[in-house]
Amino acid sequence: MTEATDVKTKPPKKKKRWYSPGKIILYLFVLIIVAGAGLFFRIPQKIGLVKGPAEQLFTITPDSEKAAVVMADLQAAGLNTQGVEVYVLPVSGTDDNVAMVVLDASKGFNFNSSGSADPVKDFLTVAAKAQQQGINRAAVAYYDENGKPLATATLPTDAAVAYSQGKLTDRQLMEKVDVGTDNLWAFISMIREQLK
Amino acid sequence: MRRTILILFIFIIALLPFLSACDSSDVQELINWAKLWAIVHDITNEDGQPNFGTITRFTVGEAFGVGSTGDKEGDAAIDSARVLNDIRQAENEADQGWEALYKGQNIKESVLPHYDQAINLRPDDWSYRNERGIAQLENLDNPDNAKAAKADFDKATALAKKSGKPAEYLRMLKNREQAMARMVAHDNDINAYPTKDMYLEQSRTYDELYKLTNDKTYLLLKQQADTNLQEGHYWQRDTGK
């Protein structure tokens, strides 16, 4: 017997596989988290990988003549237009136009001094008239006192026309209205601020 | 519904109590419409109690921006914040550029950078190309100003034609014509002459507008620009006229 036979050799280390079931689940989990965070923070849009619907449709030069008509209609409806801007955006590849009415609190807009008993009804009157300008959708975008966009409401102008003709009830009209935001946290912050 | 439910949830639950305290009748009307909207869209019931099922169902869509109004233009209107922001910034830059041009400030240093920025923000918008082209026409310090202006006008034309709408091309030409007319009127108001390049471009634009619309006003305006050219009522590089 030699001494060498007594030396215990270490068992070979098990090579770690990257594809063990546990690791695959972990990788998938991380991937889902990263993808979710990317979507949540709109990373693909921010780095230009994905174009949002607005960036796809609103590439054409805004129609300042139609915007001036809509602005005049807002004034004629008795609305205080301080801090109000109007952009009529032609829709790429169609004859459609979307009128965006910006209510910017950082430039002096204030609902309390809008000069209207019912700003929604006044807006509907203007939206119905705007259809004569080839505008088939109207939207109102509200900007806060820091000039940040908070929320947007939109409806097709034919719904406004139907409402003005008494063909739609208040409820039916509201079914046609969509509301949204691109800046949820700013919106929540605004509410928190207001509630202080 | 895109990004609506969570917002309305927040709106109804958190904002309304605050707003309800406001005295203003127009805000009250707004609240009433918002309440009706929430009921119609099943966010709350008739008593104002939130429907957590609906809210939960759509919160994920709101948070990750994967919902839709079911209408492309509706989605675009709601998602328009960034585009509107670019438009507003570009308009602001263009206004500053035009103001600097009116004040007779150095075109290369004080006018063109504003238009460059506007074009950077809205590369497919022909109005900023038209206005930068007009600024180039006025820039006698640049020996290649007419060439630079032509490049801008050609690009504006290409962008308008790219839309595939004849009306868009006409709108672009009218925008260019009106902007040049404003500039010429301004030059006249301050007892200055427009540049020769300005009148040449005016003549071309009026001619094109006359051909497109058959409106004789444009023919008369073209003749007026041509007369100004013939009679030498313009500034030209190095002549100091």
User: pLDDT digits over B101-142, tens only?
Assistant: 999 999 999 999 999 999 999 999 999 999 999 999 999 899
In B, minimum Cα distance to A179 occurs at B4
Half-sphere exposure of B49 (CA within 13 A, CB side): 3
Q: Which residues face A87 on adjacent strands? A: A100
- Rounded Cα–Cα distance for residues B7 and B4 (Å): 5
Cβ of A181 within 8 Å of Cβ of B30? The answer is no
Tell me what percent of the residues of chain B surpass a pLDDT of 90: 53
Task: Find the mean pLDDT for residues A104-124.
Answer: 81
Question: Do A104 and A83 form a contact (C-beta atoms < 8 A)?
Answer: yes
Is pLDDT above 90 for A131?
yes
Higher pLDDT, A118 or B55: A118
Residue with tokens 């969509």: A178
Instruction: Name the CATH architecture for the domain at B82-230.
Output: Alpha Horseshoe (1.25)
Cβ of A61 within 8 Å of Cβ of B126? The answer is yes
Residues 6+ apart with CB under 8 A from B118: B89, B90, B91, B93, B94, B97, B125, B128
Which tokens is B83 given? 């585009």
Residue with tokens 């509410």: A191
In B, minimum Cα distance to A90 occurs at B168
Closest Cα to residue A137, out of A183, A102, A91?
A: A91
- Rounded Cα–Cα distance for residues B37 and A178 (Å): 9
Question: Do B50 and B9 form a contact (C-beta atoms < 8 A)?
Answer: yes
Break chain B into its structural domains and give their ranges. Answer: 5-79, 82-230
Residues 6+ apart with CB under 8 A from B62: A184, B2, B3, B4, B5, B6, B7
Q: Which pLDDT does position A87 carry in this prediction?
A: 96
Q: Which residues face A89 on adjacent strands? A: A98
Q: Cα dist. B74→A47, A54, B54, B96 in Å?
A: 23, 9, 21, 32
Is pLDDT above 90 for A20?
no
Q: In chain B, what's the furthest Cα-to-Cα distance?
A: 81
Question: Do A63 and A88 form a contact (C-beta atoms < 8 A)?
Answer: yes
Is pLDDT above 70 for A193?
no
Q: Is B60 on the interface with A (CB under 8 A)?
A: no
Q: Which pLDDT does position B22 carry in this prediction?
A: 46
Q: Which pLDDT does position A195 carry in this prediction?
A: 47
Is pLDDT above 70 for B14?
no
Q: Which pLDDT does position B7 carry in this prediction?
A: 55
Q: Is A119 on the interface with B (CB under 8 A)?
A: yes
- Rounded Cα–Cα distance for residues B85 and B82 (Å): 5
Q: Read off the pLDDT band of A146 (50, 70, 90).
A: confident
Q: Which pLDDT does position B19 carry in this prediction?
A: 47
* Chain B hits for A182, Cβ within 8 Å: 3, 78-82
Is pLDDT above 80 for A96?
yes
Closest Cα to residue A158, out of B43, B19, B71, B169?
A: B71
Higher pLDDT, A192 or B38: B38
* Pairing state between β A97-104 and A178-180: unpaired
- Rounded Cα–Cα distance for residues A65 and A71 (Å): 10
- Rounded Cα–Cα distance for residues A63 and B175 (Å): 10
Distance to chain B for A18, nearest Cα, Å: 31
Q: Which pLDDT does position B217 carry in this prediction?
A: 96
Q: Read off the pLDDT band of A138 (50, 70, 90).
A: very high
Distance to chain A for B19, nearest Cα, Å: 9
Q: Which pLDDT does position B1 carry in this prediction?
A: 43
Distance to chain B for A10, nearest Cα, Å: 53
| ipTM beyond cut 0.85 | no
- Rounded Cα–Cα distance for residues B1 and B125 (Å): 31
- Rounded Cα–Cα distance for residues A185 and B63 (Å): 10
Residues 6+ apart with CB under 8 A from A78: A115, A116, A122
Residues 6+ apart with CB under 8 A from B36: A170, A171, A174
- Rounded Cα–Cα distance for residues B88 and B94 (Å): 10
- Ranking A88-92, A148-152, B85-89 by mean pLDDT, the lowest is A148-152
- Ranking A41-45, A89-93, B196-200 by mean pLDDT, the lowest is A41-45
- Rounded Cα–Cα distance for residues A187 and A153 (Å): 14
Task: Find the mean pLDDT for residues A58-86.
Answer: 92
- Rounded Cα–Cα distance for residues B96 and B112 (Å): 10
Q: Which pLDDT does position B125 carry in this prediction?
A: 95
